[in-house]
């Protein structure tokens, strides 16, 4: 048993404003009792019976639920910071050549180790990853996650056209490989499988039919793909699928939408498409550092939320430029600012934790510090750098502290990350 002592911040619901304190629990001298990989008690330090527990004092730092990154590409760690291209050129010039390397299981294993190291250094305890087309990349991903007991979601990309030969499967082989990977990994320990047609451009209609079958046969699995990220991508997609009137209509036609559908980017959507997103409960995944870096556009966070579309937040490594969900939130704030929208700090930290857990339907397991939850916890220091410490001299409220963390914070603010009750740093 371990007892973590610190300032507890936990969300109960989505904060409606900067000072909506009903949505969160904050305890200045709080504690979490961890046992068997779970949080068994949470509350004021004085109220928790710590007999027999190892006490780890994290004061004055904040204890929050571990962060959740709902969309990234594990084979793109060496693509980050590739210069001067927008989406389709970026994929062809940098990304596809890099993903070819994952045919080599040793390379995949090495990058999987680096990937989970980096996630944990940044306080992310649950990632949702696209692996490469090669089943060996999925093996590497889930093997490394299991070794550290991380709740991880991922899947092999399905792609059978418009990419180099070394990156293509077929409708049949993609189906067979996905099925075998689902059987092996989905529900094993803390692993979840995501059926992953990369996007409509790299899948033939036959492959989307195969993805439809996989989704229908495995309703517990996630489905992840990309949607309406870039204007040229949309135009090319509509050329390839002329019988559909809009981009989302393609995924809709092939039965890919629903509560388990994670649609990366979802930037340039029509009213009809937003209505379908809402009505099907599909999740729009906001990837701000990527959208700015690749020059894709501004995600309409305020508008989609108002219309009742489910929203998640993600890094989109390696189109994204930071592994840190704090840096990601900083860029999300700026994307909202450019559209005259606001994103209050409590809402931001809700999104990184309970909000993303709800988007994945995993709020009973992760995303909160409630007793019974899995013990995935991040320890945050808002004075981690000289500049942050100086700024914190003038911060008087919790909301201000959170805003300093999201504006100036990064991996240096993460003092410890616990996964299923074990310290990882
Ligand atoms: N669309 C299809 N594949 C990708 C990818 O790897 N990254 C991004 N940002 N968009 C995509
Ligand atoms: Zn992506």
What is the number of the ligand closest to the CA of 201? 1
290 Cα–ligand 1 center, Å: 10
| CA geometry: angle 204, 235, 320, nearest 5 deg | 85
Provide the token pair at 276.
């379908």
96 Cα–ligand 1 center, Å: 10
- Write down the pTM of the prediction: 0.98
Report whether residue 11 contacts ligand 1, using a CB cutoff of 6 Å. no
Report whether residue 291 contacts ligand 1, using a CB cutoff of 6 Å. no
The predicted pLDDT at position 17 comes to 85
Report whether residue 73 contacts ligand 1, using a CB cutoff of 6 Å. yes
Interstrand relation of 310-313 and 283-286 (parallel, antiparallel or unpaired): parallel
**What's the rounded Cα separation, in Å, for the pair 414 and 425?**
9
Cβ-in-10-Å burial (0-12, 13-18, 19+) of 209 comes to middle
- For a substitution probing ligand 1, which of 70, 95, 131, 200 has the most ligand atoms within 8 Å of its CB? 95
The predicted pLDDT at position 18 comes to 83
In which residue are the tokens 């008087």 written? 396
287 Cα–ligand 2 center, Å: 8
Neighbours of 1 (CB within 10 A): 14
What is the number of the ligand closest to the CA of 87? 1
**What's the rounded Cα separation, in Å, for the pair 261 and 171?**
20
**What's the rounded Cα separation, in Å, for the pair 205 and 92?**
21
Residue minimizing CA distance to atom 1 of ligand 1: 226
105-145 pLDDT tens trace: 999 999 999 999 999 999 999 999 999 999 999 999 999 99
The closest-lying atom of ligand 1 relative to the alpha carbon of residue 296 is 9
264 Cα–ligand 2 center, Å: 6
Interstrand relation of 414-419 and 422-423 (parallel, antiparallel or unpaired): antiparallel
124-135 pLDDT tens trace: 999 999 999 999
Report whether residue 237 contacts ligand 1, using a CB cutoff of 6 Å. no
| CA geometry: angle 196, 198, 203, nearest 5 deg | 105
What is the number of the ligand closest to the CA of 232? 1
The closest-lying atom of ligand 1 relative to the alpha carbon of residue 294 is 9
Task: Profile the chain (425 residues) by mean pLDDT over runs of 10 residues.
Answer: 98 91 96 98 97 97 98 98 96 98 98 98 98 98 98 98 98 98 98 98 98 98 98 98 98 98 98 98 98 98 97 98 98 98 95 98 98 98 98 96 98 98 98
**What's the rounded Cα separation, in Å, for the pair 243 and 197?**
19
Report whether residue 290 contacts ligand 1, using a CB cutoff of 6 Å. yes
């Amino acid at each position: 048993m371990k007892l973590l002592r610190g300032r507890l911040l936990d969300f109960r619901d989505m904060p409606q404003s900067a000072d909506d304190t009903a949505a969160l629990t904050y305890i200045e001298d709080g504690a979490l009792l961890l046992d068997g990989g779970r949080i068994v008690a949470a509350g004021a330090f004085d109220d928790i019976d710590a007999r027999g527990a190892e006490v780890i004092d994290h004061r004055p730092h904040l204890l929050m639920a571990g962060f959740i990154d709902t969309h990234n590409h594990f084979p793109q760690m060496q693509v980050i910071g590739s210069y001067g291209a927008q989406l389709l050129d970026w994929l062809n010039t940098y990304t596809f050549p890099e993903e070819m390397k994952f045919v080599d299981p040793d390379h995949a294993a090495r990058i999987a180790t680096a990937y989970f190291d980096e996630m944990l250094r940044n306080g992310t305890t649950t990632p949702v990853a696209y692996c490469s087309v090669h089943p060996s990349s999925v093996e590497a991903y889930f093997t490394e996650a299991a070794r550290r007991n991380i709740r991880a979601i991922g899947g092999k990309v399905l792609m059978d056209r418009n990419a180099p030969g070394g990156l293509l499967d077929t409708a049949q082989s993609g189906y067979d490989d996905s099925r075998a990977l689902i059987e092996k990994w989905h529900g094993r320990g803390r692993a979840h499988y995501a059926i992953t047609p990369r996007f409509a451009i790299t899948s033939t209609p036959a492959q989307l039919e195969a993805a439809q079958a996989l989704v229908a046969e495995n309703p517990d699995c996630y489905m992840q793909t990309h949607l309406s990220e870039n204007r040229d991508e949309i135009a090319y997609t509509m050329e390839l699928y002329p019988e559909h009137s809009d981009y989302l209509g393609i995924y809709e036609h092939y039965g890919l939408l629903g509560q388990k559908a994670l649609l990366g980017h979802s930037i340039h959507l029509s009213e009809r498409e937003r209505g379908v997103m809402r009505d099907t409960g599909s999740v729009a995944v906001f990837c701000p550092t990527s959208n700015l870096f690749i020059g894709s556009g501004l995600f309409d966070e305020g508008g989609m939320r108002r219309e009742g579309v489910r929203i998640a937040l993600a890094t989109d490594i390696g189109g994204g430029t930071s592994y840190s969900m704090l840096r990601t939130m900083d860029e999300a704030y700026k994307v909202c600012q450019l559209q005259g929208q606001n994103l209050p700090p409590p809402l931001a930290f809700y999104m990184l934790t309970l909000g993303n857990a709800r988007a994945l339907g995993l709020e009973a397991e992760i995303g909160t510090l409630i007793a019974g939850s899995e013990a995935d916890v991040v320890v945050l220091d808002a004075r981690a750098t000289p500049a942050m410490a100086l700024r914190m001299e003038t911060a008087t409220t919790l909301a201000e502290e959170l805003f300093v963390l999201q504006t100036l914070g990064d991996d240096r603010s993460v003092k410890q990350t616990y996964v299923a009750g074990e310290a990882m740093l």
